[in-house]
């Protein structure tokens, strides 16, 4: 069996959910249960990736809280992988290019996230994974003074990288187009190259979000597909996709399997971000297994073996979809296809 482990994500139960609506949060216990019960031809998920935010995992969790979490996860035959630090203002963080106070809040969220990550590693429940960050600023604010804001983001990310190193951790910025400085593949590279810590501060590829880089929704100057692109033109799509992946792959430290229908979705701080679809959605634009190979293999097609685990990522689905066990079997089947193709 391949070394590449397959993880589910817990945050679909929290992101876009509100207790005062008909789409309330789904508890971590329920997300763990759904993950543990999924099965395809005798194969199951190996673990789960977590968002360090209430009501799932408090960023201020005590040692006892973390021990209870580790026992619960291990009791279900799972392990913990990558963690999402709550670096955004609505979750207690702040902009990476904001005021001194905002940047302090950002770095404090990173410090707490890395501390939890280390504690879970020490508890034996987290053999691999890293801590995810974003710039936590919208593209419009970033563009108001691109040079100055980029310099601040780079400085903040460098400080965050030092915090991660002190905890024996790594950080990855997700390619989500709603975050300033990360809203195009070229701007993302500028940040990573400016930080200059490729072993510590890198890129997290989410197939759904990174595909939006090709379309230039929030950065038309860097789009790689024409405005009148015909989705039946696979050769043009694959050439553009490979150009993006070849540029970002050397910086990629974490990998998420996902599907996208070529449109944007979101609200508030997550405005104009990639719309996640289920893997078998008829409107999905990605050949998931092919696209995964652009990140799990080098430009010549050789396996990289760069990751210990891959994670499913899909947010803002209705609770009825998330509560359906078949959803997770379908997702697991897709993850297994990726591993069978690129995981040896």
**95-150 pLDDT tens trace:** 999 999 999 999 999 999 999 999 999 999 999 999 999 999 999 999 999 999 99
Asked if residues 281 and 259 have their Cβ atoms less than 8 Å apart, the reply is yes
Distance, in Å, from the CA atom of 58 to the CA atom of 40, rounded to the nearest integer, reads 32
**Chain-wide mean pLDDT for the chain?**
95
Question: Is 80 exceeded by the pLDDT of residue 271?
Answer: no
Question: Is 70 exceeded by the pLDDT of residue 266?
Answer: no
Question: Is 90 exceeded by the pLDDT of residue 267?
Answer: no
pLDDT value, residue 72: 98
270: confidence class by pLDDT, cuts 50, 70, 90:
low
Backbone angles phi, psi at 6, to 5 degrees: -115, 120
pLDDT value, residue 315: 86
Q: Over 10-49, what HEC string results?
A: CHHHCCCCCCCCCCCCCCHHHHHHHHHHCCECCECCCEEE
DSSP string for residues in 291-311: HHHHHHB-TTS-B----SEEE
- Return the H-helix or E-strand segment holding 206: strand 201-206
263: confidence class by pLDDT, cuts 50, 70, 90:
confident
Question: Is 80 exceeded by the pLDDT of residue 157?
Answer: yes
Q: What percent of the chain has a predicted confidence (pLDDT) above 90?
A: 90
1: confidence class by pLDDT, cuts 50, 70, 90:
very low
5-342 is classed CATH 3.20.20.150: yes
16: confidence class by pLDDT, cuts 50, 70, 90:
confident
Going 243 to 246 to 249 to 251, the CA torsion angle's sign is negative
Question: Is 80 exceeded by the pLDDT of residue 8?
Answer: yes
- pLDDT tens profile 178-219: 999 999 999 999 999 999 999 999 999 999 999 999 999 899
Please list, in sequence order, all residues whose beta carbon lies within 8 angstroms of the beta carbon of residue 222, skipping any fewer than 6 positions away. Answer: 184, 185, 186, 187, 213, 216
Q: Where are the domains of the chain?
A: 5-342
Question: Is 50 exceeded by the pLDDT of residue 45?
Answer: yes
Please list, in sequence order, all residues whose beta carbon lies within 8 angstroms of the beta carbon of residue 247, skipping any fewer than 6 positions away. Answer: 185, 186, 189
Distance of CA 60 to CAs 65, 86, 123, 234, Å? 9, 11, 17, 47
Question: Is 60 exceeded by the pLDDT of residue 2?
Answer: no
Asked if residues 331 and 281 have their Cβ atoms less than 8 Å apart, the reply is no
**Average pLDDT in the 273-290 region?**
91
Q: Checking DSSP bridges between strand 5-9 and strand 309-312, what pairing results, if any?
A: parallel
Q: What percent of the chain has a predicted confidence (pLDDT) above 70?
A: 96
- pLDDT tens profile 54-94: 999 999 999 999 999 999 999 999 999 999 999 999 899 99
Distance, in Å, from the CA atom of 53 to the CA atom of 84, rounded to the nearest integer, reads 8
Question: Is 70 exceeded by the pLDDT of residue 269?
Answer: no
- pTM (predicted TM-score): 0.95
- Residue found by looking up tokens 């490979």 in the block: 242
Asked if residues 202 and 208 have their Cβ atoms less than 8 Å apart, the reply is no
**Average pLDDT in the 37-53 region?**
98
């Amino acid at each position: 069996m391949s070394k590449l482990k397959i993880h589910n994500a817990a945050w679909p139960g929290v992101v876009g959910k509100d207790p005062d609506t008909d789409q309330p949060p789904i508890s971590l216990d329920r997300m763990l249960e759904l993950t543990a019960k999924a099965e395809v031809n005798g194969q199951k998920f190996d673990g789960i990736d977590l968002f360090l935010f209430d009501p799932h995992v408090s960023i201020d969790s005590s040692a006892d809280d973390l021990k209870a979490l580790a026992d619960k996860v291990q009791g279900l035959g799972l392990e913990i992988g990558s963690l999402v630090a709550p670096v955004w203002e609505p979750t207690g963080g702040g902009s990476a290019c904001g005021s001194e106070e905002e940047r302090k809040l950002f770095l404090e969220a990173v410090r707490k996230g890395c501390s939890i990550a280390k504690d879970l590693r020490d508890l034996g429940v987290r053999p691999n994974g890293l801590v995810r960050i974003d710039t936590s600023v919208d593209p419009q604010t970033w563009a108001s003074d691109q040079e100055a804001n980029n310099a601040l983001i780079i400085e903040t990310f460098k400080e965050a990288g030092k915090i991660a190193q002190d905890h024996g951790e790594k950080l990855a910025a997700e390619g989500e187009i709603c975050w300033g400085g990360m809203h195009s593949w070229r701007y993302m590279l500028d940040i990573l190259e400016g930080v200059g810590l490729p072993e510590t501060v890198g890129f997290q590829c989410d197939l759904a979000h990174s595909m939006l880089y090709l379309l230039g929704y929030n950065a038309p100057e860097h789009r790689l597909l024409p405005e009148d692109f015909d989705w039946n033109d696979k050769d043009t799509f694959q050439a553009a996709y490979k150009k993006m992946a070849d540029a970002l792959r050397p910086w990629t430290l974490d990998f998420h399997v996902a599907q996208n229908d070529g449109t944007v979705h979101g609200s508030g701080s997550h405005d104009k971000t990639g719309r996640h679809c289920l893997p078998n959605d008829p409107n999905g634009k990605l050949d998931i297994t092919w696209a995964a190979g652009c990140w799990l293999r080098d430009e010549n097609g050789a396996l990289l073996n760069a990751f210990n685990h891959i994670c499913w990522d899909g947010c803002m689905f209705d609770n009825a979809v998330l509560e359906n066990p078949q959803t997770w079997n379908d997702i697991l089947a897709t993850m297994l296809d990726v591993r069978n193709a690129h995981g040896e």
